[in-house]
Structure 1
């Protein structure tokens, strides 16, 4: 019986540079290729999608990302893994829906029903308002929440959440109802108001949804598979998603897969077994997994540097990051909830952070010794990013200690 092979930390970094389209020779031509390579792009912060794509496209433009999102609809923004917003390749939507998003949508609907019940809504009224909202949206074509509330006044009703708490707040019925409809795939986010950094999305009825309320109420008639034509078996879908994740991020641990998907540990283990994942030893200790056809060693790749945005899928793709991140740098680079800020990468390692200042300069700090040649490459990449951003100003949705400091003007450079 042959001993299982060890995948070194160095090889894992080489894989990351190649599979994540970060080494110069791996850049993609289209937004679809970027989303496919990473399974999906984090989209909680709208700017992340564009900046993540720009770091991996051979000829990055805002127009290329908008083409896929709003014109050709070849990539789709959806609530899925870990109850997080992602932009995934549209052909992958049924698989992602069956493996993760369906369960998320069910929780969203149950939560919305409880939220509305607190305002005196029963199931019948919820269903009726939902049908009216879909019909109004179909009639308008695209609309913001405020516009729909003109047509369906019930959407403007406000409900107090967390009453008596320091964080109590009023939320509109429409904000929750539209979120559920989007989670179920009945409506989708269209082009936002303002620039590409805006989160003020307009809505439109999704392909396959009638817009007349047919099959859209709470309960059995609300199954999104009716509207989307999705009949993928959840277990098979989990196995298929695990294979895609392993190809993009492997070798990973079972804990990484559990964390990235939001599945239970049992589901993660079953998915790996069904996928025929191959066990390998990781540097130091621990067991990792690769796809059955991906056991061959990956050669070293040419040197590369990258400036990745906050919540980029590369650092957010796994729970265990020690092979590319010095644990001593975590407090400066992450917020209290585990969200990573903008980072500087060199040859598969996080070596620093960056931020955009009010005057447009991309300031950065290198946290470790990388050598003069790498420092020069980082400086060049920072200048390129500043030129690409032009008059646009980007502030991450989740700010980290070092990003705040850099944005405030005390950049400093070290290494």
Structure 2
């Protein structure tokens, strides 16, 4: 593996932003954006807002059509056992590398207080009850298969094993009350089997393409692999990777990392395109790294990342967190209310750009108008109540 020079933070940040579609032209389509980011978190509204930040002219229907009409995208557990939107055609190697069924099985069976044989029997009853039906809610599944113990856990494990799939939610686009369908009825063919080693190499390659350069710890964080599994994958890709050192603020603060050799020249030459983005909770960019310094200055880390690693919704200015924000969808009829709390001195005179980005976001989610509210600076997420990261701007908004 060849060794390269130290890559300064501005070049690292600029390269990652462009690969994430957060600077430059962004992505042309929703499928391109999902693939190009490494996958977006599937929770609503995160998936919609992450795509709105990256795809010019994005609307809610663009994602809905790909999930529920063309079905080129699907919601399911993937890397790090988290719920993602991923391309269906990439699932053989994504699932073989992430192993959501195997890795989640033991915990599910403990909660069910059942053996895998018991689970298979219940899963068969669920599949039989769903045969010939349109997608069914969890409540409908429970009614159709009343003798299945804890249908919620059974259905959850069946989705991990791609026996069932989440379909269109009931209610609004922000609802998490999904319908479920049998995988074969909704997607068609079963996910094919791929060699685990080759699949892990493919997933790591996708990671470095979308989120590189990165450290071994970053890769391990994003995939959920063990230290041994991560080390083995990096060894398998040794001929495709170049070892570099990421340079941070202090002269002696250099961290060993890896980049795809094919990307090295582009990385070295990268410069930041000025711009503003409003990123949602769990956005793919800040969630892609264990070490968030390319996204969040260390002094501001507690205000943007909570103690267990959740990234809150952030105002990204020239690729760096400059504040937090949250959306109010139902406070004003027909309008999206965007509440923003900037960090002192972080955004300079960029309020006009932030307001323009809020307007663009409002159009993406179908709001007829937008009302931007400016709040006082906020402190550490850990100082708030549980799950403060979900709503980092509290009451007391200053206009």
Report the Cα offset of residue 122 of structure 1. Answer: 5.9
Report SS of the residue matched to 1:191. strand
Matched with 2:354 is 378
**Against the structure 1 CA distance between its residues 399 and 328, is the aligned structure 2 distance closer, same or farther, given a 3 Å change threshold?**
farther
Matched with 1:221 is none
**Against the structure 1 CA distance between its residues 56 and 299, is the aligned structure 2 distance closer, same or farther, given a 3 Å change threshold?**
same
* 1:68 aligned onto 2:66: yes
5 Å-filtered alignment, 1:268-347, equals 268-276=230-238, 277-283=241-247, 284-296=253-265, 297-347=268-318
Kindly provide the CA deviation profile for residues 223-256 of structure 1, in whole angstroms up to 9, marking residues without a partner as x.
xxxx734221111111111111011111100000
**Against the structure 1 CA distance between its residues 99 and 299, is the aligned structure 2 distance closer, same or farther, given a 3 Å change threshold?**
same
My pick for the range that moved more, 355-364 or 52-61, is 355-364
Report the Cα offset of residue 361 of structure 1. Answer: 1.8
**Against the structure 1 CA distance between its residues 114 and 406, is the aligned structure 2 distance closer, same or farther, given a 3 Å change threshold?**
closer
- Given that 2:2 and 2:243 are in contact with CA atoms closer than 8 Å, whether structure 1 keeps it comes out as no
Report the Cα offset of residue 110 of structure 1. Answer: 2.8
Aligned equivalents of 1:311 and 1:405: distance in 2? 13
Matched with 2:204 is 242
**Against the structure 1 CA distance between its residues 182 and 370, is the aligned structure 2 distance closer, same or farther, given a 3 Å change threshold?**
same
Deviant stretches of 4+, over 6 Å: 208-211
- Given that 1:76 and 1:89 are in contact with CA atoms closer than 8 Å, whether structure 2 keeps it comes out as yes
Matched with 1:108 is 104
- Given that 1:304 and 1:347 are in contact with CA atoms closer than 8 Å, whether structure 2 keeps it comes out as yes
Aligned equivalents of 1:320 and 1:125: distance in 2? 42
Aligned equivalents of 1:143 and 1:403: distance in 2? 29
Matched with 1:260 is 222
**Against the structure 1 CA distance between its residues 260 and 124, is the aligned structure 2 distance closer, same or farther, given a 3 Å change threshold?**
closer
Q: What is the TM-score with the length of structure 2 in the denominator?
A: 0.85
Kindly provide the CA deviation profile for residues 118-154 of structure 1, in whole angstroms up to 9, marking residues without a partner as x.
xxx5655433321121122222131011111222102
The root-mean-square deviation of aligned C-alpha atoms, in Å, is 2.7
Count of residues in correspondence between the two structures: 370
Select the residue among 170, 178, 183 that pairs with 1:206.
183
Flag the structure with higher strand content: 2
